[in-house]
Structure 1
Amino acid sequence: MGVWAAWKVLTEHPRLLVAPSVVFAITMGVAWLVRRVLLGSLRAWNRRNRSRPGLILAEALRGPTIIWVLILAAHLAIQSSELPAAVRDIWGPNISMALWAVSLTLMSMRVAGDIVRHYGGQIPGALPVTTLTQNLTQLAVLILGILLTLGAFGLKITPILTALGVGGLAVALALQDTLSNLFAGFYIAVAGQIRVSDYIKLSTGEEGYVTDITWQSTAVRGLTNNLVIIPNSKLSQAIVTNFSLPEKRMGASLQVGVSYGADLEQIEHILLETALLGAQEIPGMLAEPAPSVSFDPGFCESSLSFTVGYQVAEFANQYGVRHHLRKRIYKRFQEEGIELPFPTRTVYLYGPQSVKPDGGKTDP
């Protein structure tokens, strides 16, 4: 019996829908309560045991269980109705199969995305875990689910793929910028030169920690806690300095100036001793490789300048380390009586009977 024939039967005999509707409503109510109890128990168990697989399962079941409730209610309603056998035997299985396919596809998409998010970073050589990689994984599962569903209903996939290929050409021309960002984001994720949590700086001046890479843009959080959104196509074309590669550890330096009358050996000893002690106590400052002191840039306009070189755990640590190191050096200089220089000028005034620099007198 076709769709229109079945519709004609239902319009001519609306009473046939009364009993199925009642069965459908009762089944939905009971199944909904059972669903809430089961999911609530699973969430409580996850909170007690802090189980990550249990959390993934609970999130994956939340959506599909609604469809399973619909499948059960629809099946019981159809089977308990007085509809013609042709309607029950054709519509019932087809509706159930379609709903099952949709629910399993949704659940598989959720499970695949959660697995990538929670466990993707633990797989050696895997792509970085970003929103883009999660979306690509879920898209692959969705396409597979659609193909399997169409095949189960006996629909030929080849004509559909052909139509999609022709239509995709027009869509590609209309969405050039969007597709450019998509493929640029995929390249960024695959190349591994920019990863989530890396500190980067672009040639255009934007800098910060990479928080996410999506199909359209890359989000960067600056040290001022502002979020900078960079289109993937722009990021792939920019000159980028990654301060987290090849490792997060990086070198930093601090210049210290003293007066020209200071003892160079003493200053070098004090600076090195202060830096070594700071490496043990200042958060973010590394003891290995050990700090160093060099007489560079050396002879400056108003001071003898030294450079203290040291290593920090990551880019953002250099500011706090420099702050604490400066305070320690200043305190130590005060204890040792070392004079800190400041810009000075010696002015010679020439006039009648004025004293020359060599002690003589000028002519009137």
Structure 2
Amino acid sequence: MDRQTQLLLVVVCVLGFAGIVVWHLQGRARPTARLVVQIAFFAAMTIMLAYSRINPFRFDPTDFSGSQTMLVATKTLWWVHLSWAVIGFVRLYIVLDGRPREARLIQDLVVAVVYLGVLLSIFAFVFGVPIGGLLATSGIIAIILGLALQSTLSDVFSGIALTLGRPYVLGDWISLNDGTEGRVVSSNWRSTHLLTAAHNLVVVPNSVLAKVGLTNISQPDENHQIVVSVRVAPTRMPRLIVDVMHSVLDSCNVIVKQPPPTVALMGIDASAITVELQFRVSSPAQRGAARNEVIDLVYRHCKANGVQLAMPPGSLQVTTPASFDPRHSGARAKDLIDAIPIFWSLSQEERNALAASATLRNFPAGAEIAREGRPLASLMMIKSGVVAMKSGGEEIARLAPGDVFGEEGLLAGMKEMYGLHAVTHLAVYEIGQTAFAPLLIKRPEIAEDLAVHLAQREALGTRSDLPTTQSERRRLDLLKGIRSIFRSQRDQANG
């Protein structure tokens, strides 16, 4: 080997080691720059080897002579840089192709094949090891390991099949045939991890996941349908019952309004009319909250419209259901006052007096009850119907029978934060300030309940979870305003 060839081999070795250092300095956060630098060093090493007429794909028996040690190191470095360049291409392709993180399984498999091929090539073309016998021996070892690791290999290949089939991606909510439900939070060679609604982590082996049937609730979107069955006593016409149940769904704030929820009559007999409320939620995590809201509103709307719930099937009915009487249908002012928590601290006599002062008002569907930015001069309790809260013309939330509004203008002289409009035919009981002011002066603890109620309703309108400090600050501001108004009124009355 002449002196010029030795000098070229030294340059190739220097390039090889420099490439290793630069490759590590680039880091994994910059895959594109890392690949470009890697290709540049590999191309320079290849040009040097071609200029010196050294073939890295051929074993030279003289490679192990004392003067040829540099040649062995040069070929080894060239094969290492070749493997890194190929692996860089694979990783960059997966990133640029927008593959999900589950593709890491396929990436690791390709990287393992590349490293194994390069290792065998170094044995064959650098050190002259006969790889034919090595492959035969490794095949026997592979059979033994395959039998010993049969369960693990089943999980591995099942994971590859799931990755290629892509029945789910990270973040999807899936349901298995055995009843297990959860959101996919991670997936590796052996198993898939599901985070359940109870915030438990379930580890499902990939082989099990590949065999059982699964339902991807997140595809094509996370809208999830829920069905609530209601049995109603047959004391009203079915058409009226359907209208009441539509009002229930119209007043819900948690459910999805598009596509519209539906009401279906499922059956009728002498004891009950069976109705199904079919609606959707934006996420499986909302199922509990939506079901709770719908059941609460079913009770409130049925009470508001004089609709009785039926006894459970097979139960003994000891009383005859009341017949329809339009003069006494729906909730009375006294019933609403007894049911609304802010009035619970009042005595029975005070509740009766407050109910006697209430007047019934009716609004047609679409009527404007309160304009945004203007105060209401009375407290209103919804007897029946649905009220929409709007801000800037956009609907924010809805109120149902048993809800109260108008406290801002009645108690603290404030303007309404939201415009109020009747969605359906609306009946409300109105209580004026002259009837309510003496009660608040006599029982100042009601001011605290009203401030909490106002803060909760404003939080409902924002449709976001306000920080606790902001909600508490708003409650204190409202409480201060209410107390100042009625303190001045009390001073005027005493003066």
Is TM > 0.5 for Structure 1 vs Structure 2?
A: yes
- Return the match for 2:142 from 160, 168, 180: 168
Q: Could you tell me which residue of structure 2 aligns to residue 145 of structure 1?
A: 118
Q: Could you tell me which residue of structure 1 aligns to residue 415 of structure 2?
A: none
Alignment of 1:168-317 (within 5 A): 168-244=142-218, 248-276=222-250, 278=252, 282=254, 285=256, 287-288=258-259, 290-299=260-269, 303-317=272-286
- Show CA shifts across 1:255-277 (max 9, x none): 23434323421221132244356
Distance 2:248 2:102 in 1: 41
Q: 1:297 to 1:104 in 2, by over 3 A?
A: farther
Q: 1:253 to 1:97 in 2, by over 3 A?
A: same
Q: 1:347 to 1:166 in 2, by over 3 A?
A: closer
Alignment of 1:1-364 (within 5 A): 39=26, 55-57=30-32, 90-102=68-80, 105-106=83-84, 108-109=86-87, 112-113=90-91, 115-116=93-94, 119-121=97-99, 129-150=102-123, 152-153=125-126, 155=128, 157-244=131-218, 248-276=222-250, 278=252, 282=254, 285=256, 287-288=258-259, 290-299=260-269, 303-340=272-309, 345=316
- Show CA shifts across 1:166-210 (max 9, x none): 322222222222222222222333334454444333344433223
Distance 1:247 1:35 in 2: 42
Q: Work out whether residues 110 and 138 of structure 1, in 8 Å CA contact, stay in contact via their aligned partners in 2.
A: no
Q: Could you tell me which residue of structure 2 aligns to residue 48 of structure 1?
A: none
Distance 1:139 1:249 in 2: 40
Percent identity between the two aligned chains: 22
Q: 1:39 to 1:59 in 2, by over 3 A?
A: closer
Distance 1:169 1:97 in 2: 32
**Unmatched 5+ stretches in structure 2:** 1-13, 46-63, 320-495
**Unmatched 5+ stretches in structure 1:** 1-23, 44-53, 72-85, 123-127, 349-364
Q: 1:334 to 1:97 in 2, by over 3 A?
A: farther
- Paired residues, number: 280
Query: Structure 1-normalised TM-score?
Result: 0.59
Q: Shift of residue 321 of structure 1?
A: 3.0
Q: Work out whether residues 244 and 305 of structure 2, in 8 Å CA contact, stay in contact via their aligned partners in 1.
A: no
Distance 2:133 2:196 in 1: 50
Query: Structure 2-normalised TM-score?
Result: 0.45
Q: Shift of residue 229 of structure 1?
A: 1.3
In structure 1, give the amino acid aligned to 2:155: N
Q: Shift of residue 136 of structure 1?
A: 1.9
Give the structure with the larger helix fraction: 1
Q: Shift of residue 253 of structure 1?
A: 1.0
Q: Could you tell me which residue of structure 2 aligns to residue 360 of structure 1?
A: none
Q: Work out whether residues 184 and 195 of structure 2, in 8 Å CA contact, stay in contact via their aligned partners in 1.
A: yes
In structure 2, give the amino acid aligned to 1:98: T
- Show CA shifts across 1:231-270 (max 9, x none): 2222333344444467654432112343432342122113
Q: Work out whether residues 220 and 229 of structure 1, in 8 Å CA contact, stay in contact via their aligned partners in 2.
A: yes
Distance 2:239 2:286 in 1: 29
Q: 1:118 to 1:299 in 2, by over 3 A?
A: farther
Q: Work out whether residues 23 and 34 of structure 2, in 8 Å CA contact, stay in contact via their aligned partners in 1.
A: no
Distance 1:141 1:271 in 2: 64
In structure 2, give the amino acid aligned to 1:138: V
Aligned alpha-carbon RMSD (Å): 4.5
Q: Work out whether residues 189 and 213 of structure 1, in 8 Å CA contact, stay in contact via their aligned partners in 2.
A: no
